A and B are shown apart, each in its own frame.
Chain A
């Protein structure tokens, strides 16, 4: 069986309101992904289009996007695992290549959240939980993560200031990312003084809706070596789920789906947490990044706060995390997010990350979560 490599990565600028169509948004990501590759669109055997359908105005967007990228008449289809849709797309694309069905696959993630009015977005938000048993109480995505935050604070003594330090870091790097929605550095006081959305999470503990697209081109090993000088190899893929209902969760201080996905990915890659040189962690909320440190084994349960207190997840720390600004700075166009995280890690492993380059990075990890810990995806990449 052939190994599978990532040969191209791209993303659009993420913004509150892109002002272009979803086809045009995806084209921006596709253009960057194809840059410098010795292939054309006719070499792409299939496209996998990833988004969260409740935000789509276009019915069946795979048809529209494959036309706009001129990927017809090749097969195109849609995959969804909410905020981790494009990591799921990568997993599906990997297996299509390993199975020998295709040699080159494009994984395109997108979301144009500004297509919805804020009222429509709030209506979608109300249906994010189990609609019979939990949505009638008014649960939201931030509220779900806030309950994890409160439980983590109660069990381990984690403080609101430690949560805020995650945003301080990510806003620092976001300020330098030309593709990020938020490019303003925030101080601890800015964050701690922002309004409470759902206690203990404040406005700046939360990422924001955004418009954006990402594109990952993957290829079988023989093709990869031919079309690019620096193929980035997919070494480990982990995927897992947890209950939709919050009452079904066995743990409220960590995401079981992430722990299980990490275990699978490390085992498949034959590496451990200590081998990871650079990581992207799904920081839809500050607490999510702290739990990610622990769920991925970068810290023991309850000790993730030590990493942020000691600035160990900055570029020059021992475990750099979200040095592109994370979801907190980039914004979170749901279907595009996983592809954007993969793009950042690929650029790091290629040694092309510019001022955020982690020196000598060879092995990288992407942690991408769907919903409030419903879908966990962990991907390990190697130069």
Chain B
């Protein structure tokens, strides 16, 4: 399975980083790191533009992160109409910033910037897959 099944609506599937989706199915949310210069990448990428090379490795985003910001979206674009309201956010995991969804299980009144979160794969309807932040 690749990026054609990623998220609620996918727009293009071809990327050298498509193993990301395979890792999601194995229960892992991954980032990449350049083996030469040590730069971390999220979204993961197989090319390092800092040292201009393509020798990168995958690593798992584990442990607790911190929610930096969020928004509850009441009006989704095409393909997301039935999905709204949903909550988007950015979380920081030891300097690796991840953009994604907050679990619909979290009450809006419980969401606060600075709160602890972890990031986990999430099965979506129609056999699709993504990832989401959960409260710790």
Contacts and interface: CB of A to CB of B under 8 A. Distances in A.
Contact of B78 (A122, A198, A247): A122
A245 interface: yes
B68 to A, nearest CB: 6
Chain A contact patch, size range: 35 or more
A139 B88 contact: yes
Interface residues of B, number: 40
Interface stretch (A143-151, A169-177, A212-220, A231-239): A143-151
Contact of A247 (B8, B11, B42, B101): B42
Interface in A137-169: 137-140, 143, 146-151, 154
Contact of B86 (A138, A150, A245, A252): A138
B23 interface: no
Residue with the highest number of chain A CB atoms closer than 10 Å, among B3, B10, B42, B74: B74
Contacts of B39: none
B90 A252 contact: yes
Contact of B69 (A134, A147, A197): A147
A140 B77 contact: yes
Interface stretch (A83-91, A125-133, A363-371): A125-133
Given A143-B73, A247-B98, A131 B12 contact: yes
Contact of A198 (B7, B73, B98, B99): B73
A196 interface: yes
Residue with the highest number of chain B CB atoms closer than 10 Å, among A123, A197, A198, A245: A198
Given A147-B88, A154-B114, A252-B68, A137 B8 contact: yes
Contacts of B97: 247-249
Nearest to A120: B78
Contacts of A200: 71
A75 interface: no
A7 interface: no
Contacts of B54: none
A125 B77 contact: yes
Contact of A130 (B43, B90, B112, B113): B43
B113 A150 contact: yes
A147 B74 CA distance: 14
Contacts of A132: 3, 6, 10-12, 15, 43
Interface of B: 3, 6-12, 15, 42-43, 68-80, 83-84, 86, 88-90, 97-101, 108, 112-114, 130
Contacts of A199: 71-72, 74, 108
A178 interface: no
Given A123-B77, A123-B78, A154-B113, A247 B72 contact: no
A247 B9 contact: no
Given A132-B3, A137-B100, A127 B11 contact: yes
A151 B8 contact: no
B24 to A, nearest CB: 12
A151 B69 contact: yes
Contact of A138 (B42, B43, B88, B89): B88
A143 B77 CA distance: 11
A245 B43 contact: yes
Nearest to A150: B69
Nearest to B15: A132
A349 interface: no
